[in-house]
Amino acid sequence: MSLYELVFIARQEVSPVRAKELAKKINEFVSSKGGKVKKEEYWGFKNLSYQIKKSRKGHYLFFILDATESAIHDLGSQIKLTQDIIRHMFIKIKEKDFDKNPTEMLKESEEDKV
């Protein structure tokens, strides 16, 4: 199994609770395929750089997944069928690049709340 980063953006009409439900579904899907989620972060409701499918804002979620290539391919297919997700991106990473500490984006979203 390999490590992958997944970032997806949920539509602006989606509530934060629904965005976290989408994250839970991804957790369940990866687990059902024999993988596991090593890290999950909700980065918040942010402006998009450009309009995507009539949305100017979106809910950003980040994952580090430990799964097989076929499980990632299947997950990508499932994400494409989900209308609440307007963009997603997988990046394969090396084990040495995995960091358990919060990402900079999470730190920024925490600062925005204060």
Query: What are the structural domain ranges in the chain?
Result: 2-113
85-95 core/surface letters (b: 16 or more CB in 10 A; e: else)? bbbbebeeeee
The backbone torsions φ and ψ at residue 28, rounded to the nearest 5 degrees and listed phi first, read -65, -40
3-class DSSP state for residue 42?
Answer: strand
Whole-prediction pTM: 0.84
Sheet holding 2-10, edge to edge: 36-52, 55-67, 2-10, 85-93
Superfamily assignment of 2-113 in CATH? Ribosomal protein S6/Translation elongation factor EF1B (3.30.70.60)
| Beta strand 85-93 pairing with 36-52 | unpaired
pLDDT values of the chain reduced to their tens digit, one per residue, 114 residues? 889 999 999 999 989 889 889 999 999 999 999 999 999 999 888 888 888 888 899 999 999 999 999 999 999 999 999 899 999 999 998 887 777 777 777 766 666 655
pLDDT at 105: 74
Share of the chain above pLDDT 90, in %: 53
